[in-house]
């Protein structure tokens, strides 16, 4: 039996000023409900993502947890969401709208925020789709080639490809969840201006003293493709990166792109195909003798053959395909201008390096003091709340161009994560130890995690190194679901800025 909401009186009152951020606990997924107070005293609610990883525990548990969360959202908001922002099309950000659709059916949604990369008519989006589609096709080719020789590796590659993506996305189609939200929202997204672009400044309807700055994704394909930031010497000498060359080899499209020829380790003159090695080619005798291309006696052991070894980068390609979607994440910074000094909340979704690199140089004309411009770098410096990227993975928070720029001494971080499941069931380091160590130092250990929600009425214990007054101020702004019977069962935890 699904939980139902008895009336339309919101159970989550907004603060007098600022914002309350409720982080739900789907297990492994992002779901954030923000409560603001309008000028007339009424509440305004924004939902940023609502998902759970499609491999998290069993399907019944996932579905039941998301129904409980959706019912709480309905109760908290009086069945009225003023804005729903979906950052990108991965299951751990979307699948609440799948598992709890009948509850969302009863919730009014006024506006839907999607990144420009969800606009199929955008010319840059078309280029991204083409790039993405070619990579997926190449990986499918790799799996088909590997499967006869190494079924276990082929299954592993398919699993990597499936690990965050809805099946529709793998086919280059829009997910059913986004189609549902588009149909539900009265404001139809038809033109470019209906989507969110970096450099935009948005408002929460009826709310004064709050600005929403759109940081990403960047409109630069090179940055979207950039998953890691590392020093590159003499980049002009590299005609293609290794995965681009690998993709072209898989797809047999080398003749269509002269860059591929420049990236070959050896000239085509030295190439011999597998079929030639076992035929009457001048060098076929050598291969028959040493690499077992004939089953006759004296034709060498087959174990020496490395037919599938060149396909090893397919796993990197699978991970990179997932990262393309992460790097199209809608990233927003919410500025509270009634605070002195102004305070900023950063919601980085799952943005990877290229997305981050574009933020500091962004300019927002007329939004600074006395009508001057304000930059992304300045907003990062004012950040007091950071929704940690991609469950705390090592490559979704930049250092000098990211966390180190967040210089406010009151910084608080939120991480939606189940570390035990991530490590034991999936082999992922979420959160990454090095990043977690840096976050603890940067925040004075003011880190709020879904897998560490307190039980009962007892707040988190003060770390030895923390100042007593600072820790008290922090915990006074915290609240959480106190009805849970055991660890991991709490539905939400929230913090007020």
Q: How far is CA 157 from CA 40, 152, 404, 430, 452, in A?
A: 54, 9, 36, 20, 32
Question: Hey, CA dihedral for 260, 262, 263, 269, is it positive or negative?
Answer: positive
DSSP code for 491: -
394 with 435: CB under 8 angstroms? yes
Closest CA relative to residue 81, chosen from 185, 3, 2, 7: 185
For the record, the structure tokens of 231 come out as: 């020093």
Q: What is the pLDDT of residue 265?
A: 53
* CA 77 – CA 108 distance, rounded (Å): 10
For the record, the structure tokens of 227 come out as: 């998953």
Q: What is the pLDDT of residue 234?
A: 23
Within the chain, which residues score under 50 in pLDDT? 1-6, 230-240, 253-263
For the record, the structure tokens of 109 come out as: 């949604």
For the record, the structure tokens of 346 come out as: 């950063």
How is 411-434 classified by DSSP, letter by letter?
Answer: -EEEE---HHHIIIII---SS-HH
Q: What is the pLDDT of residue 239?
A: 40
Q: What is the pLDDT of residue 233?
A: 27
124 with 221: CB under 8 angstroms? yes
Q: Tokens 């007593």 identify what position?
A: 468
Q: What is the pLDDT of residue 447?
A: 97
416 with 391: CB under 8 angstroms? yes
78 φ, ψ (degrees, to nearest 5)? 65, 35
Q: What is the pLDDT of residue 284?
A: 77
Q: How far is CA 344 from CA 155, 165, 180, 335, 450, in A?
A: 44, 31, 31, 4, 22
Strands annotated E in 308-365: 331-336, 343-347, 363-364
What are the domain boundaries of the chain? 20-119+189-227+327-496, 120-188+236-324
454 with 492: CB under 8 angstroms? no
Give Cβ neighbours of residue 318 (< 8 Å, ≥ 6 apart).
139, 157, 160, 161
The tens digit of pLDDT for each residue in 430-472 reads 999 999 999 999 999 999 999 999 998 999 999 998 889 999 9
| CATH 3.30.479, applies to 20-119+189-227+327-496 | no
Cis amide leading into 402 (omega within 30):
no
452 φ, ψ (degrees, to nearest 5)? -135, 35
Q: What is the pLDDT of residue 252?
A: 53
Q: What is the pLDDT of residue 165?
A: 58
The tens digit of pLDDT for each residue in 67-125 reads 999 999 999 999 999 999 999 999 999 999 999 999 999 999 999 999 999 999 999 98
């Amino acid at each position: 039996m699904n939980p139902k909401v008895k009336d339309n009186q919101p159970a989550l009152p907004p603060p007098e000023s600022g914002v309350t951020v409720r982080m739900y606990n789907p297990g492994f997924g992002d779901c954030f409900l923000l409560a603001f107070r309008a000028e007339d005293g009424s509440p305004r609610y924004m939902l940023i993502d609502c998902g759970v990883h499609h491999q998290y525990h069993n399907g019944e548990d996932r579905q039941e947890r998301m129904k409980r969360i959706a019912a709480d959202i309905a109760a908290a908001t009086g069945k009225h969401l003023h804005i729903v922002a979906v950052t990108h099309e991965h299951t751990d950000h979307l699948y609440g709208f799948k598992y709890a659709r009948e509850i969302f059916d009863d919730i009014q949604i006024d506006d839907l925020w999607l990144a420009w990369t969800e606009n199929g008519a955008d010319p840059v989006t078309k280029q991204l789709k083409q790039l993405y589609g070619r990579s997926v096709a190449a990986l499918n080719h790799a799996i088909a080639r590997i499967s006869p020789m190494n079924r276990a590796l082929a299954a592993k590659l398919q699993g990597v490809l499936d690990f965050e993506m809805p099946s529709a996305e793998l086919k280059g189609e829009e997910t059913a969840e986004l189609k549902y939200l588009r149909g539900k929202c009265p404001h139809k997204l038809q033109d470019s201006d209906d989507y969110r672009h970096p450099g935009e400044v948005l408002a929460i309807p009826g709310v004064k003293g709050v600005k929403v700055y759109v940081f990403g994704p960047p409109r630069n394909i090179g940055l979207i493709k950039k998953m890691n930031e590392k020093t590159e010497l003499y980049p002009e000498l590299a005609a293609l990166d290794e995965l681009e060359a690998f993709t072209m080899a898989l797809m047999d499209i080398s003749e269509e792109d002269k860059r591929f020829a420049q990236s070959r380790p050896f000239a085509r003159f030295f190439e011999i195909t597998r079929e030639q090695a076992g035929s009457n080619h001048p060098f076929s005798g050598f291969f028959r003798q040493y690499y077992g291309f004939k089953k006759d006696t004296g034709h060498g052991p087959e174990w020496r053959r490395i037919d599938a070894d060149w396909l090893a980068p397919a796993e990197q390609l699978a991970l990179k395909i997932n990262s393309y979607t992460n790097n199209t994440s809608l990233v927003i910074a919410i500025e509270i201008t009634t605070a002195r000094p102004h305070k900023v909340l950063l919601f980085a979704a799952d943005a990877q390096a290229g997305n981050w690199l574009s933020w500091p140089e962004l300019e927002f004309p007329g939004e600074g003091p006395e009508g001057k411009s304000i930059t992304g770098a300045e907003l990062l410096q004012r950040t007091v709340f950071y929704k940690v990227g991609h469950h705390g993975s090592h490559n979704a928070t930049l250092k000098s161009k990211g966390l180190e720029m967040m210089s406010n001494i009151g910084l608080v971080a939120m991480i939606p994560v189940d570390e035990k499941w991530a490590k034991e069931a999936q082999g992922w380091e979420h959160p990454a130890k090095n990043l977690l160590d840096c976050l603890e130092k940067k925040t004075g250990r003011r880190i709020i995690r879904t897998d560490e929600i307190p039980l009962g009425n007892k707040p988190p214990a003060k770390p030895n190194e923390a100042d007593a007054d600072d820790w008290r101020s922090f915990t006074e702004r915290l609240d959480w679901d106190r009805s849970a019977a055991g660890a991991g069962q709490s539905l939400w935890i929230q913090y007020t800025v």
